[in-house]
Amino acid sequence: MIQFHFDRRITDLLEDENISFYKKKQDVFEQFQHSSMIGWTEDVDSDMLSSLIALRDEVKKHSQCLVVVGIGGSYLGSYAINQLFSSYFHSCSFPIIYVGTTLSSDYLDELFEELRTKDFSLFVVSKSGNTMETVLFYQKIKRFMEEKYSLEELRKRIIICTNLSKGYLREQINQYHFVSFSIPENIGGRFSLITPAHLFPLSFSIDIFQFVSGYFQGKSYQEEAYRYAFCRKKLFDLGKVIENFCVYDEKFLPFTEWLKQLFAESEGKEKRGIFPVSTLYPRDLHSLGQFVQEGNPVLFETFFQVDNSSLKDEFSSLSSIVFDSVIQAHCSGGVYCNLICISCLDEFHLGELMYFFMMSATFSSYLFEVDPFDQPGVEVYKNAILQHTNFDFFHQKSD
């Protein structure tokens, strides 16, 4: 179960906003229902899930790890979940290595050093099939693999997930007959959690059936998702233009990266939107905490709490004291604090939580009167790269 406690001071304000709250809700729900980009709300075929498990079993037979290449919405979801379910100190029995988000030559050298003595498979995700960072890493790793494996072997080891019909990666699938999955046209990158783009890498570390059923259960939080969106918009109108997602466990940080992308890329348009940041407490209480408490009052906070009342150790009881004290202190400093409590952090509840946020980011974008499902600002950057690079990176290859 997930419980939402939005800051009392803001929910009190909502009492006066009753009419606007309900009127806008009707508008927002209508826009949502009529959007052509809500494929992520539609049921998933259980045969698709079984085929992912079957492929995972095949990969495990001939590989010692899986290298996943993707960026933005094509990797953050599965990366965040995988991190949440990983051990702090031990790499899991079947490591997943996420690459393609930086352009460091040192990183690439070390990656190849790491892979030189290993048998591995490659999973490449790009909805457009043309993203520069992803294509570049794909080309480099494929070339590296060609030195190790025959084409027949490559066909077992390279798996591509892209759109159905166009782009560089689709051409590669057609040319080499690699195993492939598609991302439906009506599901955007950051909303593609329940497509193979995320479910395939996740199948190595979690129960994807549980995750998917929790995800759809998340639909029951539609009212809360709207309430959260409405509160955020009210906070924005009060000058609170930054939302700080506060977590108490390092494993939760990648999840906040996912949240940051979801909100920033969905609602940050036309000079509008809330800028999302995240902090790890208590670590950041001893640095950024000063600003939160007494600095420029531009932010509000959303805290995550996982119920650990069944744990009776000293750390757990101390951490709930810290948790309550931080909220008390920040509220006394005038910071608005929302609280999201999760009864248990398993696949099912995580699925619910992620669906909740996807709905809420969508509603929030509609309240800001922007389209949640496009990202024109990202295109500006992509075009700038093409203008400044004097070569066609798609075709500087040996194939």
SS3 of 351-365: the string is HHHHHHHHHHHHHHH
Strand partners, 182: 162
Catalytic pick from 90, 271, 286, 312? 286
- Tokens in use for 360? 């809420």
- The residue at minimum Cβ distance from ligand PA5 is 189
- Among 55, 66, 68, 71, interactor with ligand PA5 by CB under 6 A: 71
74 lies in the binding site for ligand PA5 (CB under 6 A):
yes
| Token pair in block for residue 224 | 């809360």
Smallest gap from Cβ 336 to ligand PA5, in A, equals: 28
Active site residue 395: no
Which CB sits closer to ligand PA5, 161 or 327? Answer: 161
* 172 scored as a contact of ligand PA5 (CB under 6 A): no
Q: Which two tokens stand for residue 108?
A: 């690439």
Report the residue number, 190 or 234, with the smaller CB distance to ligand PA5: 190
Task: Indicate if 30 belongs to the active site.
Answer: no
Burial label for 31, CB within 10 Å (0-12, 13-18, 19+), is middle
> Rule CB under 6 A: is residue 134 a binding residue for ligand PA5?
yes
Annotated catalytic residue within 23, 166, 219, 382 = 382
Q: Count the site residues for ligand PA5 by CB under 6 A.
A: 15
Q: Is 198 in the site for ligand PA5 (CB under 6 A)?
A: no
Candidate segments 2-10, 38-46, 183-191, 277-285, binder of ligand PA5 by CB under 6 A:
183-191
The residue from 133, 265, 267, 347 that is catalytic is 265
* Angle made by CA atoms 113, 116, 117, in degrees to the nearest 5: 115
Does 72 participate in binding ligand PA5 (rule CB under 6 A)?
Answer: yes
Q: Which of 41, 172, 365, 375 binds ligand PA5 (CB under 6 A)?
A: 375
Q: Which of 25, 96, 100, 188 binds ligand PA5 (CB under 6 A)?
A: 188
Answer for which of 7, 265, 347, 352 binds ligand PA5 (CB under 6 A) is 265
- How many Å apart are CA 71 and CA 190, to the nearest integer? 10
**Where are the extended beta strands (E) located within 146-298?**
158-162, 179-182, 242-247, 275-280
Compute the least distance from the CB of residue 281 to ligand PA5, in Å: 27
Shortest Cβ distance from residue 191 to ligand PA5 (Å)?
7
Identity at 125, one-letter amino acid code: V
* DSSP code for 297: S
Query: For this structure, is 265 an active site residue?
Result: yes
State which H helix or E strand residue 325 sits in: helix 314-332
**C-alpha distance from residue 157 to each of 5, 238, 398 (Å):** 47, 53, 19
Residues 89-128 interacting with ligand PA5 (rule: CB under 6 A): 126-128
Would the CA dihedral through 189, 346, 209, 351 be positive or negative?
negative
DSSP string, 61-100: HH-SEEEEE--GGGTHHHHHHHHHTS-SSS--SS-EEEE-
Least distance (Å) between residue 398 CB and ligand PA5: 23
Q: Which region among 186-194, 219-227, 235-243, 308-316 touches ligand PA5 (by CB under 6 A)?
A: 186-194
- The residues assigned a catalytic role are 265, 286, 382
Q: Footprint of ligand PA5 on this chain (CB under 6 A)?
A: 71-74, 126-128, 131, 134, 188-190, 265, 375, 378
